[in-house]
Each structure stands twice: as structure tokens, then as C-alpha cells.
Amino acid sequence: MPPTDASKPVLEARKVSKRFTLHGPGQYGKEVHALEPVTLALHPGRITALVGESGSGKSTLARLLALAHPPTSGEIRLDGERIAAARTARGKRAYYRQVQMVFQDPFSSLSPVHRVRHILGRPLQLHGGAQDKAARERQTVELLERVNLTPADQFIDKFPHELSGGQRQRVAIARALAARPRVLLGDEPVSMLDVSIRLDILNLLGSLRDDGLAILYITHDIAGARYFADEIKVLYAGQLVESGPGEELVRDPRHPYTRLLVESAPDPDRIAPPPDPDGDDAPPGEPPSLVDPPGGCRFHPRCPLAVPQCATTFPPRTHLSAKRWVHCWSHDAGVPQIPQADPVPHTDCPVPHTDRPVPHKDKDNSP
């Protein structure tokens, strides 16, 4: 594995956006605005969680990073170098040696006609780790042990259908690790698994992070993201709206959408019923259509704090601290105007949330 410098990002998306063109009668010229310009950096030894609802563009971003689609605008940089050559097979292979992906569904991501030995041996061979059979066998066993499929000889000759969902997802992770990547893109890697085995997979990702891997963890489960990610970024309808250290962001969400997510998450410790974001009789809001998205901040039609400005202009980035920023007009005036966050007082909060840093506006980073 090449030397890693934790302060420098391995993989970056710089202002990447994606529009999908629609086809079919009545849809000529229409586009799905799946992702507005998004900047995101993955650092070695860090898990970055990307949280959002279905259709928020989180998988689109992962697919752009995995070169499954070319971005409509913006660029992807690996170690600071722009990825342009990756259109050739050779360029792609070099890229995938560094960046690997784990998919949501372990039932369809593994070839049903091959044994685990082949599923893991093939990338070992392709990505140059092991040329002869004995080395490949040894490394396959090492991979299985790394993902806690032990004893390895019990698993190496199995077909995917002989494994449980959790075991299959471990094989999928082992396959991604076979290329000795520096970046792992996980697109909802645990949401198809049973509750009792999710934690094992997440703990495995945690230990891979400790080994220096840069991990993108895409999820809709904000409680899990708080637990396992160093940093959470919240995506709504293709726009990044808030980012910060996981713990802080969940305890004190500053964007109205992040607050809605946190308040909607199941929480057996909740004392009072969650305040109703839409008002008691208002019809429930839903994410907008991305074919004809609302202007300005896309959350404004559902936002309790919306002002006329929200409908016309996407708010600039307001930095709340070195690691924390939010895109919301209510934070722009210098003093946050969100009413008292966190309705449930918790004695074990290490930082009282009255200690709010004075925000300052950052003009360079607004998309």
C-alpha cells in the first residue's frame, strides 16, 4: 500500500454534478438534475458518511466516484491528479486498483456460478497481487481471515448461495480489498442485512478505517452514521446542505432538513414525541421531483424557516467551526436563527450547545 498522508485527501470530487437525460415520448429535452455541484474529499483513515433519502443523489455521487458515469461537470481527482485517462480499460484498471466499491445487495453482487475461491482469486490475479496459484491461494485465505470468515478453508469452496447474507457481504468486502485499494465506496453496505449482523459489518469497516483506508459510507441511517463515521455530510435532492463531525451534527443539527432527519429517526430514548415538522394537518412533505426541481434551496417548499430568498438563491456556505458548515439562509446573518435545537436535554452531552461558535461566511466555497 502506498504511503498515506492523513492530511491529504486520496479521492476528491470537485464540484461534480450529474444530469441524466430522459428519453421517450413527451420527455425530449428533459433532464433529471440528480446532483448539483458537490465537493467532497475522502481522507485516509476516515469514514465519511453521506446521508440522505432515496433520490437524494447519494448513489449517483458514489457512481461518479466509481467512474460508472462521467460527471456532467466538475472533476474527480485521485491523489490530486485529475482522472481523465480512465476512459481506457488500462486507465480504469489502474483506478480500480485504488478505488473499490461495495454494493448494497450481497445477493446480486456476487456471481452465483463461481466459488468464493474464484470470486476472490480473480481480482488478486487481475490487480497484480498474486500471479502464481500458490500465492493466490495464500492471499485468498488472508482476505477471508481479514473479514472474519474463519476458518477460511470452510468458506473458500462455497458458492454464494451457500452463505448467509452477512457472510456474502463479507465476501463482497473481501473482494473489494483484494485489489488493495486505498478507497472503499460503500453504497448502503448494511441496509439489506439483518439487524443482528449489521454491527459486525460496520465494525469491520471501522477496523479497515483504522488500517488507513479512506471510506465513503452511504446510508439513510443517521444513527448508524453517527456511530461509525468520523464525518457526516447530508444530501438533499442533489444538494449538500450540511457537514460536520458525526456526533456534533446529530446532537445539534443546524440545517432544518438535518433536524427533520434526526427527529424522524427511531429513538427509544425520546422523552417527548417529536415535534411535528409539517404541522398537524399539513400534508406530509416529500422530496421534490428532480426533473423540475424547485429553485434556490431545494428544501424550501418543506422548510419551516423558509423566507422568500430561499426560493431564488441557494444559500452560501456558512462555516460554524473548522469542521462544520451549513448551507442555510437562516445562518447567513451571522447569528444562527434556528430556534432552540435538541428539544431533549441530555446530561451526558460533553459540550453544552450554548457554546456556539460565531459563524463566518465563506465566499469561495459556495457552489
Partner 1 sequence: MSHVPERYEDELLSEEPLSDELLSDELLSGELLSVEGLSVDYFDRAEPVHAVRDVRLGVRRGETLGVVGESGCGKSTLVTALTRLERPPAVITAGSALYRPREGEPVDLLRADERQLSALRWRHLAIVFQSAMNALNPVHRLGAQFVDVLRAQRGLSKKEAQERAGELLGLVGIPADRLRAYPHELSGGMRQRATIALALACEPELVVMDEPTTAVDVVMQRQILKQIGKLQAEFGFSVVFVTHDLSLLIEIADRIAVMYAGRVVEVGPARQLYENPAHPYTAALRNAFPPLRGPRRPLTGIPGSPPGLRHPPAGCAFHPRCASRFAPCDTEEPELLPAGAGEAACHLPTHADAPRTEEAPDATD
* Footprint on this chain of partner 1 (rule: CB under 8 A): 53-54, 164-167, 194-200, 203, 220-224, 226-228, 247, 250-251, 260-270, 274, 276-278, 282-286, 344, 346, 348
- For residue 300, give the 3-state DSSP assignment: helix
Residue with Cβ nearer partner 1 (100 or 104): 104
Least distance between partner 1 and beta carbon 10 (Å): 26
* Closest among 307, 293, 257 to 277, alpha carbons compared: 257
SS (H, E, C) 130-186: CCCHHHHHHHHHHHHHHCCCCCHHHCCCCCHHHCCHHHHHHHHHHHHHHCCCCEEEE
Least distance between partner 1 and beta carbon 257 (Å): 9
- For residue 59, give the 3-state DSSP assignment: helix
Q: Which amino acid is at 16?
A: V
Q: CA 40, 46, 51: angle at the middle one, nearest 5?
A: 55
Residue with Cβ nearer partner 1 (66 or 110): 110
Element (H, E) at 51: strand 47-51
Residue with Cβ nearer partner 1 (282 or 335): 282
Alpha-carbon distance of 164 to 193, in angstroms, equals 9
Render the burial of 162-182: b for 16+ CB within 10 Å, e for the rest.
Answer: ebebbbbbbbbbbbbbbbbbb
Positive/negative CA dihedral, 22, 26, 30, 31:
negative
Residue with Cβ nearer partner 1 (53 or 142): 53
Alpha-carbon distance of 176 to 186, in angstroms, equals 10
- For residue 257, give the 3-state DSSP assignment: helix
Least distance between partner 1 and beta carbon 170 (Å): 11
Residue with Cβ nearer partner 1 (225 or 310): 225
Residue with Cβ nearer partner 1 (20 or 227): 227
Least distance between partner 1 and beta carbon 1 (Å): 26
Least distance between partner 1 and beta carbon 202 (Å): 8
Residue with Cβ nearer partner 1 (194 or 362): 194
Least distance between partner 1 and beta carbon 107 (Å): 11
Least distance between partner 1 and beta carbon 259 (Å): 11
